[in-house]
Structure 1
Amino acid sequence: MSHKITGNMEVIGADGVHVGTVDRVEDGRIKLKKSDSFGHHEGHHHYIEMGFVAGVEGDKVRLSANADIAVTLEEEKSGRPVDL
């Protein structure tokens, strides 16, 4: 499915709420643009594991979790969860 995900696609939670915008797919994870990342801990890139992607619908990447849960799943470059 990662081949369907391209830069500038919107990432939304299962509830349809905006989570971020795709920068690119890197190392099997979605790298979000640091200028558009939902929630906390802004100012650098966050990553979402491909396993949390439920599907690609047009220009949107839908996650299997609601947006408020998805931000707790985001990781920093190291693969460490983001401290909220």
Structure 2
Amino acid sequence: MDTSKIKEHMDVISSDRKTVGKVDHLEGSDKIKLTKSSSPDGAHHHFIPVGWVDHVDAHVHLNKPAAEVTAHWAG
């Protein structure tokens, strides 16, 4: 996975085409930190492992459905 393609404010989209957040920045080389404002509660940053990324174009596309992402993200 080429993490250099992941940029701030990109939408993060689940495999079932739901937006699960926006990129705040990369945390180290293995996690994507999402913005607080894109969190369902608006109060916490959440982290998504880079291993969940399927591909990156104008958005970050994940290989997991939204329910699985939100059930297992860290933060």
Percentage of pairs with the same residue: 37
TM-score by length of 2: 0.89
Structure 2 runs not aligned, ≥5 long: none
Question: Structure 1, unaligned stretches of length 5 or more?
Answer: 77-84
After superposition, the C-alpha distances for 1:6-39 in whole angstroms (9 at most, x for unaligned) are 10000010011010000000122000001102x4
Letter in 1 for 2:35: K
Q: Distance in 2 between matches of 1:35 and 1:19?
A: 11
Amino acid at match of 1:45: H
TM-score using structure 1 length: 0.80
In the alignment, the residues of structure 1 paired with residue 72 and residue 51 of structure 2 have an alpha-carbon distance, to the nearest angstrom, of 11
Q: CA RMSD in A?
A: 1.2
The match for 1:30 is 32
The reply to whether residue 46 of structure 1 matches residue 46 of structure 2 is yes
Q: Tell me which stretches of 4 or more aligned residues in structure 1 moved more than 2 Å.
A: none
CA-to-aligned-CA distance 1:48-69 (integer Å, 9 cap, x gap) = 0000000102x21010001111
More helix, by proportion? 2
Per the alignment, in what secondary structure is the counterpart of residue 37 of structure 2?
strand
The count of aligned residue pairs is 73
